[in-house]
């Protein structure tokens, strides 16, 4: 904890806080520290219990993802107060855990929009990598009905799922683009030069074009 405090930089903190993340540790330095510590599950649990954002990010880098029980991960997700901790928990830990599918189903139906967004993130992963057994048309029905009025993080996750369905599944592409066009979600999102807009119709079209050109998707 003392070492993390020593890495805290006011300028980094100011940038992070604009995104809702209350820590000032450069992520490159955090990863270097994690590399030095290597995997330490007990230390990871103790770091998580501090409720400090930088400590929790470090915990997620040095933990053993498959060692967590289902209920433990559910509690951790509900405790994850900041966007970066939430994202790293889902992407670095839950996706590699044997209970991921069970959590995907329960979180997707959760009344808390931040918890539900984690369920949608896991669904997007399945759309891309293991779509067998998913009701893609049913997912599009839910997105069409609920995405427009969803809270920020949940809306973002549903939009990502919409784009992924359109990119990966030709038979649903036209409908995915049509839903995006009608709902207009993230159409005006500021996009840096060289980056792809998160507006689903643009995102889908661009990724499909890259795939067809043989470039990076």
pLDDT, tens digit, for every residue of 81-111? 899 999 999 999 999 999 999 999 999 999 9
The strand pairing partners of 25, in sequence order, are: 8
Compute the mean pLDDT over every residue in the chain, rounded to the nearest whole number: 96
Q: Name the helix (H) or strand (E) containing 156.
A: helix 152-168
Average pLDDT over residues 134-149: 98
- Cβ count near 171 (within 10 Å): 9
Contact indicator for 77, 118 with CB cutoff of 8 Å: yes
Assigned token pair, 46: 């103790």
Nearest to 119 by CA among 131, 107, 127: 107
Report the C-alpha gap between 173 and 167 in whole angstroms. 7
Assigned token pair, 198: 């998160």
- State percent of the chain over pLDDT 70: 99
Report the C-alpha gap between 52 and 136 in whole angstroms. 38
- Cβ count near 159 (within 10 Å): 25
Q: Is the pTM of this model over 0.85?
A: yes
pLDDT, tens digit, for every residue of 190-204? 999 889 999 999 999
pLDDT at residue number 217: 52
- State percent of the chain over pLDDT 90: 94
Q: Is the pLDDT of residue 213 over 60?
A: yes
pLDDT, tens digit, for every residue of 29-68? 999 999 999 999 999 999 999 999 999 999 999 999 999 9
Nearest to 171 by CA among 217, 148, 140: 140
Average pLDDT over residues 144-156: 97
pLDDT at residue number 109: 96
Q: Three-state DSSP class for 25? A: strand
Report the C-alpha gap between 93 and 196 in whole angstroms. 27
pLDDT at residue number 127: 97
Q: Is the pLDDT of residue 170 over 90?
A: yes
Q: Is the pLDDT of residue 216 over 60?
A: no
Q: Is the pLDDT of residue 165 over 90?
A: yes
Report the C-alpha gap between 5 and 30 in whole angstroms. 11
Burial 77-92 (b: 16+ CB within 10 A, else e): beebebbbbbbbbbee
């Amino acid at each position: 904890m003392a070492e993390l405090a020593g890495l805290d930089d006011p300028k980094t903190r100011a940038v992070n806080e604009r995104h809702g993340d209350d820590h000032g540790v450069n992520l490159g330095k955090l990863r270097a520290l994690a590399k030095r510590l290597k995997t330490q599950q007990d230390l990871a649990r103790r770091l998580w219990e501090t409720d400090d954002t930088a400590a929790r990010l470090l915990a997620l880098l040095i933990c053993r993802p498959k060692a967590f029980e289902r209920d433990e991960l559910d509690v951790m997700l509900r405790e994850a107060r900041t966007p970066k901790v939430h994202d790293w928990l889902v992407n670095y830990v839950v996706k590699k855990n044997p209970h991921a599918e069970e959590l995907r189903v329960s979180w997707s139906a959760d009344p808390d929009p931040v918890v539900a967004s984690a369920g949608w993130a896991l669904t997007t992963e399945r759309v891309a990598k293991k779509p067998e057994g998913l009701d893609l048309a049913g997912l599009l029905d839910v997105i069409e009905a609920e995405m427009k009025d969803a809270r920020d993080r949940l809306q973002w996750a549903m939009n990502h799922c919409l784009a992924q369905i359109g990119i990966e599944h030709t038979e649903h592409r036209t409908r995915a683009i049509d839903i995006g066009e009608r709902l207009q979600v993230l159409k005006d999102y500021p996009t840096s030069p060289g980056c792809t807009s998160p507006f689903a119709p643009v995102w889908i079209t661009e990724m499909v074009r890259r795939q067809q050109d043989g470039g990076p998707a």
